[in-house]
Structure 1
Amino acid sequence: MSLRRTAGGTARVVRALTAAALGLACVALTGCAGTAPTERPPYAMAKADLGMQADATTFTEFPTAPADPAPGGDTEGVVLRVLSDVAVHQSPDGPVFAKLPAKQLNNPTWVPVIAERGKWAQVLLPSRPNGTTGWVLEDEQTQRARTPYAVDVEVDARRLTVRRDGGVIGQWVVGVGASDSPTPRGRTYIMAAIEETVTKFSPIILPLGIHSNTFSTYGGGPGTVALHTWPDPAVFGQASSDGCVRVPADALRLLATLPLGTLVHLR
């Protein structure tokens, strides 16, 4: 395992996950390989009651959850670390519809804050449908930090830009989804970092909190879109993937240093 920065600047772990550890290979988790896919409670409630709630992960779906009110909007860079299961509410003090676990794909859970109301934070969730959000109470079960980074992917222009405090620190031509399997649009975030030991097309996979709108699954996985590299540079500048964003190796090296929870715009 190797160490990476957190949003607060300390070291964190990039997990080396195998198909056995995940229950599926990366090719099943995301549209990485380019192969054809197969198709908190109210605050006073005891924490034990969260056991009745489904985890908000890339594997779950919450059709009635609040949608992102500004999918093209920016944030202040605030991110929350979930230290133990927290309730996800429809609104501040509203009904609970899920719980946000402390791990996502064996990585620490960091989610971007898109709105705040007192001690309540509206965060982006990694579940379907795309743009799913929820409200969590900031307390001893959460840790607040800020990331200065943001990633912009201009899908039509096939260009990826990394910014720090608004200034460009890297820009590349990338590959995006084909016309019949387009890269989804909206704001999302870097959900996890996986050092894949099974497939060889990318040394690190960066799953995002967003899914393919074309496929409900990639080879048995949940259809999670990711940032990753590709062995054939001819794909850069092309629309040929199953929805993932294929980036050059030097772009991946920079992206892999960004904190989890960093905002990613797919425009």
Structure 2
Amino acid sequence: MQKLNLALAAILVVSLVSHTMEAKAQLNQYLISKIESFHLFVDSLKILASSPGKKFTLPNRGRPSRLSSTGRRGRCSDLKEPFIALIPHFLEQTQDENVVSALGKTAQSEPVFWFYVPKLPQDVRKLEFRLLNENKEAQKYILNLTDTPGIVGFRPSLHQKLKLNQQYHFTASIIYCDSDISKNPTVDSWVERVTLGDSLENQLRGATAEKRIELYSKNGIWHETLTLLVEKHQENPNNPMINDQLVSLLKDAGFENIANKTNIKYYILSTQNN
């Protein structure tokens, strides 16, 4: 009888230890999930605090641009949506018509350029980008498109860096027709490298990513604002605050149709010089 009691006691102890370990593991998992949720909440508060409802400052001047591939004659593509260059823009009224005027400002000598690429056929996967200086000398790049539709960015390794206070014309084409490139879906616009000024430089120095986004947005520095936001989105893809900021930025820049799309993808491509 004594042996039976000892055996039962041993079984009870093992059962208690097992249940205790299981409960401890469950508690640890619960605490980890709560800590992750807390960090996500803190990140959201940081972003909210750094975004006091101020819209992106549009440029007060621009250059005639073709930001959308729609309306081109003789196209050889069958895109369901337009290919779009993501550059802040506004309408300028001329004697005959309203003209889309656009200009992307950057402080960098090699900024990231952004486009909305619609769903493409499986056999269409290349994009050609050309950057022209004031002498119309072109630097050409070929990009391999990996996943569409989505918002695509890339930072070209320029042979000639952007010079301060100069505007550069750029074009981008999705390569459908090798035989007649004029029929490819094409967009074009302008970029200018600007001087930030001592005050803004001092504010940016040592600032958090959230604060830098706020400062760039307030001062109309488009390329850095969008790039930093996309990088934050990639770090925290489930953060609704960051997603809301991206939506607001795209709307401020005049791209409501894109901003209203759900589950949109953002990615940065590598380039091949040509």
More strand by share: 1
Higher helix share: 2
Name the larger-Rg structure: 2
Instruction: Tell me whether the two structures share a fold, i.e. TM-score over 0.5.
Output: no
> TM-score, normalised on structure 2?
0.25
